[in-house]
Structure 1
Amino acid sequence: MSSTNSDGTTSDSSVDRAFEAALYGTGHTALDTGASLLAADPAVDAELARRGQEFVAAAWRRGWQPADVVRLVRRDLDDVHIRLLAALIRAQAPYDGPRGPRWQAQIHDLPPETPPRADRFSHATAVLELYRLLLRLPALEPLEGPTAKQTRPESRMLTRIRALLAKAEATGFPEEAEALSAKAQELMARHSIDEALLASRTSAAKDTPGACRIGVEPPYEQAKAVLLDAVASANHCRAVWNEPFDFSTVVGFEADLEVVELLYTSLLVQAQAAMTKAEAAQRAGGRKRTKTFRQSFLAAYAHRIGTRLTEAAKAPVTEDLLPVLASREVAVTARLDRMFPETTTTRLRGVSDEAGWVEGAQAADRAQVAPRRPLR
């Protein structure tokens, strides 16, 4: 319902006039005009929040997920907008249908909501800036995933893998990190095969590939996208990079998607630590080309890791596993083709620092990605 103001107008019309000016107008003063209208009418607050929830729901219908929008707002706007967005997403959540565990995890990871605002005009300006971004979100490929009723609790295997990788990233001793990460990689391979065999022998055979989005954010996003692609390919998944919106969509079966997220995140942590150490040594020697060194370092790291993972993926399997793995690969490829009927190939740019390339390749050789044991 609309409330009536002292001048006879309604709060709804105040919001509509503010939106007409700020969200659909093109003049230099459009945003200030809309914010002034909202700031002058305290009765609009509830309606303004309701409209924001509608913008959020519309984003979900266009294929966006909470983490996608938070990532974009963090890139293009400010912290206050992220907190406003978090409040809107939480307020809209009760009106959603069943969502999968990835979605629920994204809701759980939302930042705290906005603190009390300093003044009405500043608050209204921030709200309109956020709504303008939400309004202009394009449609994305939908990620149909399992609902909460169809999912199982995280397996003990994944819990062990997470713990091993966390220890490998935290330790300062390379030998210990190697042992921990090698064990984690062994468990990853076994986990994937166990899930495939279970699906082939039970009613889970009707399981179909899913998809998730993983952030690939600046700086040096091209090299990071190449690294993620290598990790996905080695773990029976496929990745497609969306450069404008800082993410890659990874398609695969759920057990493999979980492994890709874990390994990619761990390798990024290891790469960052190795790059920081190598860069410090370069600066101590008088070098100043930090940006080109980092770009070349990460490009070489991603290239070399891809080679290592490809070699590891060639481990022999017994003949009884071949039909199972082949059918799953066909299903993943079919899902990818449906989601992305047209893709293009991007080549790495800006790789010009020889020392960065050499250091990155050496760091990749030291990274803890042990070859998989033969599958049997």
Structure 2
Amino acid sequence: MESVIDRAFAAALYGPDADAGRAGGATHGLDTGASLLAADPTADAELARRGEELARRAWERGWQPADVLRLVRRDLDEPHVRLAASLIRSETRAYAPEALPARWRAQLADLAAHEPWRAPDRFAHATAVLALYRLLLRLPRIEAVGPAPGTPVHAPPPHPGDEPRALTRIRALLAKAEATGYPQEAEALTAKAQELMARYSVDEAVLAARTHAADVPGACRIGVDAPYETAKAILLDAVAGANRCRAVWNEAYSFSTVVGFDPDLEVVDLLYTSLLVQGTAAMTKAEQGQRAGGRKRTKTFRQAFLMAYAQRMGARLEAAAAPVTRSGTGIGTDSLLPVLAARDVAVTDRTERMFPETSTTRVRGVRDGEGWEQGAAAADRAQVAHRAPVEG
């Protein structure tokens, strides 16, 4: 005889209307499954166990906690986000710290911001759980950016305060750049942050070469959320390229995969996040001026603004990165260039193996001249013109 769980899943997850509408849309099958579960409290433990099994399948298919939470937030509602956070916490509790990949630890720590959801009744809880499970069940296999939990990880788990001093300073400088209301101050702070980024990245590359460390490119995923996701993906691509990384955008699932060496991946994430914050703040301020002048085309203005910001930022980042490989006290161009060239080849090779089939797309829909001009000007204010020479 089928269990209550099996009958509920058959109706809500595998029934003929399971794919109707949104992943969590109100359907007859979902209501039927929720009614069965709500009427039988003895099924709760097995329902939770099935959820953890679905989470494990997601990890095996290449997904990570931040990816799942991002998709749940996009396709479902806040109760589902809280349920997903609780489910992930529960499933990953079984792993020893050394069995969790390094980037997972930070993602799991972020789950603390999501309080458990208290449903008004059993039927509402069962409905939300089944909608979440329906989404998890349909997650496809994606490119893995690291080992799944449970895979032996040889590096010891980091302790608080172990972050390199350079990254700590970079975070502080970018936080100040985002918080200030003065463009010139933001530019100066960002300039100093970029100088530290260049030194940190090149120092790590040279150290790895000198010690013959078995350093290979890694990968991480960075969310690229709507609205104006095309402009955001272009901005991330520009930041990645300037820092010797490659970015591949997955529009369907709202993220880009960035491939590169770990020190470069860290600064790409930091810089992209900061520039997006600064660009969005500048766009909001410019839009207020447009509204004060009587203009109503806010959507086209925003789109043009962010596209210009991303395009101009890419050009300026490339120009700012060039002097790094041509300077260096105590390193020497003859020593530095082969090191960086070898890393570029390794990153390209890893990207092509991860993504043997990629496509390009033509960007369309930028029709607001004023938005474009102001977005380009904002990029000029947010970006530096030169990086200081790299110290040996």
Within a 5 Å distance, the mapping from 1:283-302 to structure 2 comes to 283-302=291-310
2:335 maps to 1:320: yes
2:256 maps to 1:248: yes
Question: Cα deviations across residues 69-99 of structure 1 (Å, max 9, x unaligned)?
Answer: 1000000000100111111101111334622
Deviates more, 1:146-155 or 1:174-183: 146-155
Distance 2:76 2:138 in 1: 14
Distance 1:148 1:122 in 2: 43
CA RMSD, 1 decimal: 1.6
Q: Which residue of 1 aligns with 2:56?
A: 57
Q: Which residue of 1 aligns with 2:155?
A: 149
Contact 2:316 2:383 in 1 (8 A): no
2:377 maps to 1:371: no
Identity between Structure 1 and Structure 2 (%): 68
TM-score norm. by structure 2 comes to: 0.90
Match of residue 318, structure 2, among 299, 306, 310: 310
Within a 5 Å distance, the mapping from 1:1-376 to structure 2 comes to 13-27=3-17, 28-96=27-95, 98-110=99-111, 111-144=113-146, 147=153, 149=155, 153-204=162-213, 206-315=214-323, 316-317=326-327, 318-375=333-390
Residue aligned with 1:218, SS? coil
Question: Cα deviations across residues 313-357 of structure 1 (Å, max 9, x unaligned)?
Answer: 222241210110011111101110110001111222211101100
Question: Cα deviations across residues 187-226 of structure 1 (Å, max 9, x unaligned)?
Answer: 000000000011001142x111000000000000000000
> Amino acid of the residue matched to residue 61 of structure 2?
R
> Amino acid of the residue matched to residue 199 of structure 1?
A
Deviates more, 1:189-198 or 1:169-178: 169-178
Unaligned runs of 5+ in 2: 18-26, 328-332
Unaligned runs of 5+ in 1: 1-8
Runs of 4+ in structure 1 deviating by more than 6 angstroms, as ranges, are none
Deviates more, 1:342-351 or 1:188-197: 342-351
Distance 2:294 2:153 in 1: 56
> Amino acid of the residue matched to residue 118 of structure 2?
P
Q: Which residue of 1 aligns with 2:24?
A: none
> Amino acid of the residue matched to residue 342 of structure 1?
E
Distance 1:181 1:213 in 2: 23
Deviation at 1:375, TM superposition (A): 4.1
Deviation at 1:172, TM superposition (A): 1.7
TM-score norm. by structure 1 comes to: 0.94
> Amino acid of the residue matched to residue 117 of structure 2?
P
Deviates more, 1:171-180 or 1:348-357: 171-180
- How many pairs align? 365
